[in-house]
Amino acid sequence: MKQVLPPGMTAAQMDRALAALARVVGSEWVLATDLDRDTYLDHFAVDESAHAAAAAVAPLTVEQVVEVMRVANTHKLPLWPISRGKNFGYGGAAPRLKGSVVLDLSRMKKIEFDTDNGVALVEPGVGFYDLYDYLQQHKLPYWTSVPGNSWGSVLGNALDRGVGYTNYGQHTEKLCGMEVVLPTGELMRTGMGAMKDSPTWNLYRYGFGPSWEQMFVQSNYGVVTKAGVWMMPAPESMVGLDLELDKPDDLGWAVDLVAGLRRDGLLVQSPSIGSWLRGAATLTTRKEWYDKPGALPDDVIGAIRKRFNIGWWSVSLRLYGYESVNEAAAGVIQAQFAKKTTQPMTVSRWKQGQPMSPSPSVAAVAGIPITFPLANAAWHGGRGGHLGYSPVLPPNGVAAMDQFRRTYDRYKEFGMDYHGSFAMGERSIVNVNQVLFNKDDADMMSRVGGFFRALVADATGKRYGEYRTHIDYMDLVASTYDFNNHALRRANEAVKDALDPNGILAPGKSGIWPRRYRNQRA
Ligand code: ADP
């Protein structure tokens, strides 16, 4: 048996806790064989065993979730909630605290749809594919917004501040009205939902008094069992404007230009300006290009760009809505780019009634679920994996270029292949960098930790924080949020202790440790 246990718990205590859980959900939904435990490992982690779960429990109803929380309190059993557990690059299904029991909500798959207002009320197990299929089957005039890996759940992705590519791509901002089981087992609803039978629960975000919704995002304060998600009305037209930028330095002016478009509202989606490896890593493997260790040299980068006919950076903008409005906006955007480059933008047009291009790279901007970007984990060969490093920058070209240069130098120093993108928000940039690796390459794996820490230290030096991180680095990233000697952490942990006196829910998530496990902080 590969049984693992949380700190301070004996095997007999764990057995008793699992038996009590079986009485709630049925013994077939307490998953505690070696194979079950393997299923919940984070196969992308540098050290999978560091986050091994003791078991998993998979309730079907909110009543069962309430009872599971009560059992966890009685037995002082740490639980780690997942919706579908596909948070790859950030931990997958695996818990931060080794020996936790995964609270697997993937069986809870109900969808209720408010067609008039365009709101889906979803349970945690509803995947992007499920919601997409639902819209198609019911011929509903709405689009989903999907992330690059759409294997996961609508709710879990929004709860970790995942993003998509349409005007509704800031997923966490589209949540409206949650049902939550607090760590003590108390069931509550946020916003207008705090009024029984309110018809505006999923329409008006705030309710009366403090707004709690974001308290349950990237936190360990509650298990979300249902949430309203606003959906984008199917647009009359979609216009694409694509541009390949030849030189690394082109990033600077492109960021300034797109930041302006975002600020003045002409562009509503958050486009990502990405480097040449993005396509190559999903469509080819490294050994097709180069068989030596160390970062890829410039001539190889040139060959990759030539084959895929791409720039050092690719800019891909999308406009959604009424055709005449899109055409007018496209004209203004093209004129702005024409002042900076003689290269014309490639324009693509789609209208309601036309077939959607089957090209996978177009699918995500049209809200169609995809998984092919996950193929980038195979770039190096062997058992592939990846890790995300994503600091938040101010939205200007000088900051972006400075960040790019510094990060690119670090990739070269540690012999890794640069894979960066700049996702342009309304008033910020999220600089998403992928660290691709081969878990069968011991030398490469020995470099990953030091590389990641160096990247975080560089960003912290500039006072940039990360927006999201892998379970391995939650304490590290949380520690960089240091104003007034970590006042935020003290506040987070005061709330944690108040809501979760036994410290049973997701100990260590986002660097927030309950009193009971505070000595586990890395
Ligand atoms: P997905 O399968 O959609 O990629 P995950 O299930 O992997 O999402 O969850 C992403 C993150 O959000 C994890 O840190 C997880 O602990 C948290 N999370 C997921 N679902 C819930 C939920 N229903 N309530 C609270 N936290 C959740």
| Residue 180 CA, closest ligand 1 atom number | 24
Q: Distance between CA atoms of 200 and 205, rounded to whole angstroms?
A: 9
Q: What was the pLDDT predicted at 362? A: 74
Q: What was the pLDDT predicted at 372? A: 87
Torsion of CA 506, 509, 511, 514, to 10 degrees: -10
Return the closest-CA partner of residue 46 out of 404, 470, 360, 516.
Answer: 470
- Does the Cβ of 153 fall within 6 Å of ligand 1? yes
- Does the Cβ of 146 fall within 6 Å of ligand 1? no
Q: Are 230 and 513 in contact (CB under 8 A)?
A: no
Q: Distance between CA atoms of 164 and 132, rounded to whole angstroms?
A: 14
- Ligand 1 atom 14, closest CA: 160
| SS3 state at 267 | coil
- Does the Cβ of 152 fall within 6 Å of ligand 1? yes
- Does the Cβ of 85 fall within 6 Å of ligand 1? yes
Helix (H) or strand (E) holding 403: helix 397-413
Please state, as a whole number, how many other Cβ atoms lie within 10 Å of the Cβ of residue 491: 10
| SS3 state at 279 | helix
Q: Distance between CA atoms of 50 and 39, rounded to whole angstroms?
A: 15
By CB neighbour count within 10 A (0-12 exposed, 13-18 middle, 19+ buried), where does 35 fall?
A: exposed
Residues 6+ apart with CB under 8 A from 353: none
Q: Distance between CA atoms of 443 and 229, rounded to whole angstroms?
A: 44
Q: Are 255 and 273 in contact (CB under 8 A)?
A: yes
Q: What was the pLDDT predicted at 374? A: 87
Helix (H) or strand (E) holding 389: strand 384-389
Ligand 1 centre distance from Cα of residue 405 (Å): 33
Q: Distance between CA atoms of 175 and 172, rounded to whole angstroms?
A: 6
Weakly modelled stretches of the chain, pLDDT under 50: none
Ligand 1 centre distance from Cα of residue 309 (Å): 37
Please state, as a whole number, how many other Cβ atoms lie within 10 Å of the Cβ of residue 143: 23
Question: Whole-model pTM?
Answer: 0.97
Q: Distance between CA atoms of 233 and 236, rounded to whole angstroms?
A: 9
- Ligand 1 atom 7, closest CA: 85
The residue with tokens 């079950």 is: 36
Count of alpha carbons within 13 angstroms of residue 68, beta-carbon side: 31
